[in-house]
Structure 1
Amino acid sequence: MAKRRIAFYFMTIPALVLFFLFHTFPALQGIFYSFTNWNGYSDAFDFVGFKNFANIFKDENVIHSYGFTFKYALLMTILTNVISLLIAVGLNAKIKFKNFFRGVYFLPNILSVLIVGFIFNYLFANVFPVWGEKLGSELFSQNILGNQTWAWTGIVIVAVWQGIAFNTILYLAGLQTIPQDLYEASSLDGAGKLREFWSITFPLLASFFTINMVLAMKNGLMVFDQIVALTGGGPGRATQSIAYLIYTGGFQGGEFAYQSANAVIYFILIVAISVLQLKFLQKREMDL
């Protein structure tokens, strides 16, 4: 027993030390610097208290980034879960080559976000405009990523296309837990497919729906890689997310302390939104 306990400590302590050094300690440093005016590269800095936090709420650039991020995250979360749920239900039906299609739908999840973004960047710039011209569409005959009004839709399309893969797999796993006897009984009672979905499938997938909604919203709020690969926050600042603003302002704009304060506020918001989602959706699970 003693040897087993020693072996346990040898396996866990190095992991805990590494986690603290490369995750917890930098996070604590960021919180510390958020109360200073440090620019990220000089040796001198002064404590400014809550000044950085107060200025965040007066910064139009920050407010615009929050607005874009929340709009993107909300739409991406809804579309990803609706489409992935429909795909999962379809794949769970008795169709040929079911396993093949499951593999195809999961493929986007194993690809790098940056690689996917660069591929779609090429498609938006060179392929889709050609199709738009042939269809006679003025909007789609141009690169929408260069359109200040519609650039955000291109980012949503890419994020939804890639996000569907993981959510579909989770919904498929949930569908395997539903007893087929329930569907047979409902069929004998004359229930249609739509009635079966709302009365059996969706209520029994409630816990999986909760997980997917929380994870999708969290990923949407932390959007960064898609912005880097597709628009770089442009055109202008139309698609500048909070994560991208924190990165560019903190590491390239000499606003390290200011953006550290922004990061602290955003961390609190993400945690609060996730907790509210869990409470609301778990309450819904019990009501179903």
Structure 2
Amino acid sequence: MPRAFYLMVLPAFVLFFVFHTIPVLQGIYYSFTDSPGYGPSDLVGFQNYIALFTDGRVLHAYWFTLLIAAVATVLVNVVALAIALGLNSRIKFKTTLRGIYFIPNVLAILVVGYIFAYLFNNSLPAFATKLGIDSLSTSLLTDSSTAWIGIVILAVWQAAAFNIIIYIAGLQTVPADLYEAADLDGASTWRQFRSITFPMIAGFFTINMVLSLKSFLQIFDHIMALTNGGPGTDTESVSVLIYKGGFQGGEYGYQSANSVVFFLIIVALSIMQLRVLQRREVSV
């Protein structure tokens, strides 16, 4: 390859190595220490990793994270695909609507999260009280059994925008001739979706599912804005726990081990998801 190629790639490689690779290697090193995040530390071997599997707070954080990720991934793809199908149909102002639907993706999630927190804590209970709906007369975020619902609502609302764009791009690759032939054969709308649309955009569905799950597994800003991990620690995700324990609780080494385990779990789930969905693409 020409020398100019290496000269162009070198700055990006150096930046990536300095700001990504080195911190990752440092994190792995600290995971084998008892470092509080400052001062001297000692090597403790695999003690941090062993302790993770008996720590109730850590196990609850993983369970809660998987719950949020699973529910939000399904909902965001259902919502995004439904909206994309509507925007891809013959409706007026669909170009403008595409721009409007993408707005949530460019807004700062913390700012939006505080707005949603106000709605959940004040506006929604006030409306529910006037309408006589007792189950919604108190904030969703103050009850550990319902706080996760508010987090899912915010996460789906914010993430749907990106998924919509991906699905619209996929729908535009489906030849119109297929729909015309299906209409001549008398195929219903649902039949056309099941036999033509969905199989043709299976690759885009795979992309959205994998990216959505990875993103929701790392959910952080939504929780910090809505509940800050509360009530108590009931809505702590793994990312929130790593942040609180590592940077505020003096558990830098311990939470470094947690972050390594979390990274491996995300990679494993992504690979499994890709293999299953890609196998389905082939069968379709």
Counterpart check, 1:266 vs 2:262: yes
Q: TM-score normalised to the size of structure 1?
A: 0.97
| 2:215 alignment counterpart | 219
Q: What secondary structure is seen at the aligned counterpart in 2 of 1:94?
A: coil
Q: Distance between the aligned counterparts of 2:3 and 2:127, measured in 1?
A: 65
Q: Distance between the aligned counterparts of 1:139 and 1:235, measured in 2?
A: 18
Q: Distance between the aligned counterparts of 1:12 and 1:76, measured in 2?
A: 37
Deviation of residue 139 (structure 1)?
2.2
Q: Please give the per-residue CA displacement for 1:209-250, whole angstroms capped at 9, x wherever unaligned.
A: 000000000011000010111110001111100000001000
Q: Distance between the aligned counterparts of 1:151 and 1:214, measured in 2?
A: 25
Deviates more, 1:100-109 or 1:248-257: 100-109
| 2:238 alignment counterpart | 242
Deviates more, 1:123-132 or 1:259-268: 123-132
Q: What secondary structure is seen at the aligned counterpart in 2 of 1:139?
A: helix
Which of 35, 38, 59 pairs up with 2:35? 38
Alignment RMSD (CA, Å): 1.0
Paired residues for 1:272-283 under 5 Å: 272-283=268-279
Percent identity, aligned pairs only, is 57
Q: What amino acid sits opposite 1:21 in the alignment?
A: V
Q: What amino acid sits opposite 1:17 in the alignment?
A: V
Q: What secondary structure is seen at the aligned counterpart in 1 of 2:136?
A: coil
Q: What secondary structure is seen at the aligned counterpart in 2 of 1:17?
A: helix
Q: What amino acid sits opposite 1:227 in the alignment?
A: I
Q: Structure 1: where are the runs of 5+ without partners?
A: none
Deviation of residue 114 (structure 1)?
1.0
Which of 212, 228, 231 pairs up with 1:232? 228
Q: Distance between the aligned counterparts of 1:28 and 1:64, measured in 2?
A: 27
Which of 6, 14, 37 pairs up with 1:17? 14
Q: Please give the per-residue CA displacement for 1:151-193, whole angstroms capped at 9, x wherever unaligned.
A: 1100000000011110011000000000000000000000010
Q: Please give the per-residue CA displacement for 1:34-84, whole angstroms capped at 9, x wherever unaligned.
A: 111111111x22111111000000000000000100000000000000111
Deviation of residue 6 (structure 1)?
4.0
Q: Distance between the aligned counterparts of 1:92 and 1:138, measured in 2?
A: 40
Deviation of residue 11 (structure 1)?
2.5
Which of 87, 91, 97 pairs up with 1:91? 87
| 1:27 alignment counterpart | 24
Which of 137, 150, 153 pairs up with 1:154? 150
| 2:111 alignment counterpart | 115
Q: Distance between the aligned counterparts of 2:21 and 2:117, measured in 1?
A: 35
- How many residue pairs get aligned? The number is 284
Which of 163, 171, 174 pairs up with 1:175? 171
Q: What secondary structure is seen at the aligned counterpart in 2 of 1:194?
A: helix
Q: Distance between the aligned counterparts of 2:24 and 2:137, measured in 1?
A: 45
Deviates more, 1:215-224 or 1:15-24: 15-24
Q: What secondary structure is seen at the aligned counterpart in 2 of 1:69?
A: helix
Q: Please give the per-residue CA displacement for 1:88-115, whole angstroms capped at 9, x wherever unaligned.
A: 1111111111112111111111111111
| 2:130 alignment counterpart | 134
Q: Distance between the aligned counterparts of 1:161 and 1:168, measured in 2?
A: 11
Q: What secondary structure is seen at the aligned counterpart in 2 of 1:130?
A: helix
Q: Distance between the aligned counterparts of 1:36 and 1:74, measured in 2?
A: 33
Paired residues for 1:53-72 under 5 Å: 53-72=49-68
Q: Distance between the aligned counterparts of 2:34 and 2:92, measured in 1?
A: 63
Q: What secondary structure is seen at the aligned counterpart in 2 of 1:124?
A: helix
Following TM superposition, the consecutive aligned residue runs of length 4 or more in structure 1 with deviations greater than 2 angstroms are 5-11
Q: Distance between the aligned counterparts of 1:38 and 1:65, measured in 2?
A: 22
Q: What amino acid sits opposite 1:162 in the alignment?
A: Q
